[in-house]
Structure 1
């Protein structure tokens, strides 16, 4: 995408949130949708584990965001124990939009209407460069683990 083309409003929100959080990265709106970690890894030519999936769950009745490696599946029972919740379950598509303002496949780690308690999968430490969605399925940005931890204020956790 040419730099002078307008970014989608959700992508602009994510870019603004990253900059406001002190992280100087540039989001990219791309010409194809990459709604899964595998699709994003294929597009970028990187390991699927370097994709930082932003997944919304309900911890009891509270939305939580889990930033996990694209190579992992979140063990909800294990996660519930780790975070002190009675039950953790995947959020519905409507709950995802309500909490993040973004659609499944494009959920970013930041840029939401209100703060969401966030957890960061320590498995992502394995990668020097991570990639995350930026508000829509056809968007990506590169970030380091340390920057992601800083900008989200996440709690580090093992998710599987």
Structure 2
């Protein structure tokens, strides 16, 4: 197996690669979004949902601190998501004056169903469009993309 060229020795032969990669990944993301209903959420709502999915529950103040917004702004976001059945509130066991927020079981199920639909579509597309050798290339490129993601400015 050929060893990857160290970054300092890399000579980008294709000057359009960064732009091409951005466009292709954007199209792939759009296609994936079409496959599972992700809902019509604002970026702040999506950030809150992702945080709670990773951390199970939090207070409004904890969410505001974690996401870098004012508690009043977070309160408005929480109220909208609570009204839509996305969030459940329960008394904080350590401080009954506060409430802990978590994603509702129904909403979690819808997230999982959407992910499954997107993964099913992607699996089907890979099987239908790529040869076995191309599937191996794609698998190897995932590790390359992960390295790009970890690059810091």
- Do both share a fold (TM > 0.5)? no
Task: Choose 1 or 2 for highest CA Rg.
Answer: 2
Kindly indicate whether structure 1 or structure 2 has the higher relative contact order, using CA contacts under 8 Å at least 6 residues apart. Answer: 1
The normalised TM-score by structure 1 is: 0.23
| Structure with a larger share of its residues in helix | 2
TM-score, normalised on structure 2? 0.24
In terms of fraction of residues, the more strand-rich structure is 1
